[in-house]
């Protein structure tokens, strides 16, 4: 897979699909996953879009940081990737942590995005203390304890029962990831609160929420819709990783918004 070193000295791993002459559509992964989580979207959109998927720093084949960072740095990685690929303006779709990144981009880099889709996310995800405790846990014990319970947060009980191979592959990917990279992103999320800032967003935004999501709820989605001028909300019958649990419905919502 191609990669490049950003001005922040992060080696960012990415893949592109489709014709570079087509409109660019960039996907940003959730905490504990990598760009492979977007496979169903890549297959669906690559015919009509120049699809870009990347591993968030500390995830997949992207490097970890040498110093603490926040949402601003996660967002800057995206801008650096667009610059590297010589893409002036793109459509953006991010889920969970990637959705936080998308909110920051919509606030501070509106000229680089045609439309932004933020999925299974919130303007403030969880509580700072819980994120700090999780960061300390994975540094002490690795990612196996988190991976062992991830499925119950990511998917509905029915999906876990009926798609064991999908769930196992994602859990194994999480367990095999960088504990330090995961911990650093937990700390970034601990300090991120965009509840006031998102009111300044002026570009078109779609919020996708999972009706059974225990992590970032429909109420979180409704709050973002209300705060962001002109934003629309789509609800999917899924838990936290809705693009994998309900790929056809997810793709339908995304296509309907950006086409």
Domains of the chain (ranges, CATH numbers): 3-125+193-258 (3.40.50.1820)
- Give the global pTM: 0.98
206: left (phi over 0), alpha (psi -120 to 50) or beta: beta
Cβ contact 208:118 at 8 Å = yes
10-residue mean pLDDT series, the chain (259 residues): 94 98 98 98 98 98 96 98 98 98 98 98 97 97 96 96 97 96 98 97 98 97 98 98 98 97
Interacting residues of 148 by C-beta distance below 8 A, sequence separation 6+? 171
Give the pLDDT of residue 1. Answer: 80
Q: Quick one: pLDDT at residue 237?
A: 98
């Amino acid at each position: 897979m191609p990669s490049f070193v950003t001005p922040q000295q992060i080696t960012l791993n990415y893949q592109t699909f489709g014709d570079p002459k087509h409109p660019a559509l960039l996907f940003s992964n959730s905490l504990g996953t990598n760009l492979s989580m977007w496979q169903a979207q890549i297959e669906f959109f690559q015919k009509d879009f120049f699809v870009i998927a990347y591993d968030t720093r500390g995830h997949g084949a992207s490097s970890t940081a040498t110093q603490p960072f926040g949402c601003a740095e996660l967002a800057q990685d995206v801008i650096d990737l667009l610059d590297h690929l010589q893409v002036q303006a793109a459509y953006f779709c991010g889920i969970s942590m990637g959705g936080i990144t998308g909110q920051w981009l919509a606030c501070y880099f509106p000229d680089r995005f045609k439309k932004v889709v933020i999925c299974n996310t919130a303007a403030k995800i969880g509580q700072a203390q819980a994120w700090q405790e999780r960061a300390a846990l994975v540094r002490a014990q690795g990612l196996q304890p988190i991976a062992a319970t991830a499925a119950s947060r990511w998917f509905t009980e029915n999906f876990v029962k009926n798609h064991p191979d999908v769930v196992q592959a994602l859990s194994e990917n999480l367990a095999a990831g960088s504990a330090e990279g995961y911990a650093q992103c937990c700390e970034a999320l601990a300090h991120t609160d965009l509840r006031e800032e998102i009111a300044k967003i002026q570009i078109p935004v779609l919020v996708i929420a999972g009706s059974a999501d225990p992590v970032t709820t429909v109420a979180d989605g409704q709050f973002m819709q209300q705060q962001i001028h002109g934003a629309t909300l789509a609800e999917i019958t899924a838990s936290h990783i809705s693009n994998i649990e309900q790929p056809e419905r997810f793709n339908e919502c995304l296509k309907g918004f950006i086409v």
